[in-house]
Amino acid sequence: MKLKDLLYKADIKETIGRTDMEINAVQFDSRKVKEGTLFVAQSGTHVDGHDFIEKSILSGAVAVICEKKQVEHFEGVTYIIVEDSSIALGIIASNFYGNPTEKLKLIGITGTNGKTTTATLAYNLLESLGFATVLISTIRILVHGKEYPSTHTTPDIITLNEIFSEAVELGCEYAVMEVSSHGIHQNRIAGLHFQVGVFTNITHDHLDYHKTFAEYIKAKKKFFDELPKSAVSLTNIDDRNGVVMLQNSPSVRYSYALKTDADFRAKILENQFEGMLLLLDGKEFWTPLIGQFNAYNLLAVYSIARLLGIEQTEILTHLSKMKNVDGRFQTFISESGVVIIVDYAHTPDALENVLNTVQNIRTRNEKLITVVGCGGDRDKTKRPEMAKIASGQSDLAIFTSDNPRSEDPEQILAEMEAGVEAQNFNKTLKITDRKEAIKTALKMAVKGDIILIAGKGHETYQEIKGVKHHFDDMETAKELTKQLSK
């Protein structure tokens, strides 16, 4: 593609050199530059791409997008100066792949909790209704059933456009993607054309990155502020920031709720370990999914489908067959009759939601044991909160390692323990080894007891000192139950 065509709609301050040259690839990673590449130098959080301009040119880059005028100019290389390279990259990447999201109905889902479940359920619903669909989620990336590796909540913009381009070629009509606050803040969704934007909720998370809750809200809100007039936005109005999200959005606005008046409403009629009975927009509906948080997820998916013009009965028929997403309130009962729940809850709000769900279903004649940890190199302020919630709502809370990353796991557990209220100290344990912590919980449980293993959910690894070791909570729990039953 010609460079001048790639620059269509990009906000350019100055061009030095010719723009009629052929571009074979667009790249922001200097290590991947080849002959005929357009290199985009981004000012990153940890690394400044401008430091690698010379390296990229020596590797074959024929044009450079940058935010700063370069002191040294290489002959035959075109320099395009822009205000923000990350935004320019989004527009250029979309142009390079033929603007695929203009040919798809793209649904973006953002919020602290519920993104993965809502996105996955929406994908499963659309696929079951016969629509070829794309899913971009934390757990997996799917293009009409074909799986790609997933490394971030929001992949880089070049990868996204490549995936969406292939989806268009395969005849996909819809795309559903999780949109993280990091992705929004870093302009990793720039140049994408969203038709639907969904807000699930916002609670305490990612303050290691955003620093303040106000900045975290601002990052989420930016997504809705930048939706076009032709888009539709959908917000959970039960969340106190639900209205705030859409305040300046030029999109057509809709709401959903369990507790307040909204465009789309649901009510929980029954809630058991086997499933829930919901009254959804006036119709009774049974689902094997459990808990209030799943009622919100299902209502969001139902609302999306209705806004896409799909008929109510058709939605409910297919939605009633949907099962739990991996690592999201995944339940099994051991041979000894212990109920084991694995959930990704890794924020105070998510943990409280899961524990409230268990409390609403349990009989109180059984013990509730919670195994929980907190990740290293992440928001430290949530550690005491999570420990306070776990110890306050459980008969026994076992604090253990999550993904300690570069931190000392013992120090993480000490910071968690600081949040335990005095009256709950006698019902907490610290067991650093996660497998040993799960094993201890299983040994202490008897028939009818409930064990919640929280924090990692679908993850199949544990990251310690920069190394990822295989570790799957559900797999580990099942293996240990077999060992202990012998």
Per-domain residue ranges of the chain: 3-96, 100-319, 330-485
Q: Is domain 100-319 given the CATH code 1.10.3470.10 in the classification?
A: no
Please state the φ and ψ torsions of residue 10, each to the nearest 5 degrees.
Answer: -75, 145
The two beta strands, 283-287 and 264-272, are unpaired
Cβ-contact 135, 176 below 8 angstroms? yes
Return all residues near 21 (Cβ < 8 A) that are at least 6 apart.
Answer: 2, 3, 62, 63, 78
The pLDDT value recorded for residue 148 is 86
Q: Which residue has the tokens 């919980």?
A: 441
Q: Token pair of 280, please?
A: 């959804």
Please list the alpha-helical segments (H only) found in 97-241.
115-128, 157-169, 181-185, 207-210, 213-225
The sign one gets for the Cα dihedral 379, 380, 386, 388 is negative
The pLDDT value recorded for residue 349 is 87
The pLDDT value recorded for residue 222 is 94
481 closest CA partner among 333, 318, 262:
333
Fold of 330-485: Protein-Tyrosine Phosphatase; Chain A (3.90.190)
CB neighbours (10 Å) of residue 449? 23
The pLDDT value recorded for residue 201 is 93
Q: Give the span between the Cα atoms of 121 and 127, in whole angstroms.
A: 10
The pLDDT value recorded for residue 204 is 58
Q: Token pair of 241, please?
A: 């920031």
The pLDDT value recorded for residue 154 is 65
Q: Which DSSP symbol is given to 164? A: H
Q: Give the span between the Cα atoms of 177 and 153, in whole angstroms.
A: 9
283 closest CA partner among 296, 301, 264:
264
199 - beta bridge partners?
A: 110, 235
Q: Give the span between the Cα atoms of 237 and 235, in whole angstroms.
A: 6
Q: Give the span between the Cα atoms of 236 and 275, in whole angstroms.
A: 22
May I ask the CATH class of domain 3-96? Answer: alpha beta
200 closest CA partner among 330, 304, 287, 106:
304
Cβ-contact 304, 320 below 8 angstroms? no
Cβ-contact 271, 290 below 8 angstroms? yes
The pLDDT value recorded for residue 210 is 46
The sign one gets for the Cα dihedral 327, 331, 336, 338 is positive
370 closest CA partner among 393, 353, 347, 349:
393
The sign one gets for the Cα dihedral 417, 385, 297, 223 is negative
Please list the alpha-helical segments (H only) found in 248-404.
292-307, 312-319, 348-361, 382-393
* pLDDT tens over the chain, length 486 residues: 999 999 999 999 999 999 999 999 999 999 999 999 999 999 877 889 999 999 999 999 999 999 988 888 999 999 999 999 999 999 999 999 999 999 999 999 999 888 999 999 999 999 999 999 999 998 899 999 999 876 655 689 999 999 999 999 999 999 999 998 888 888 889 999 999 999 999 885 545 554 587 888 888 899 999 999 999 999 999 999 999 999 999 999 999 999 999 999 999 999 888 899 999 999 999 999 998 999 999 999 999 999 999 999 999 999 999 988 888 899 989 999 999 999 999 989 889 989 999 998 998 899 999 999 999 998 899 999 999 999 999 999 999 999 999 999 999 999 999 999 999 999 999 999 999 999 999 999 999 999 999 999 989 999 999 899 999 999 999 999 999 987
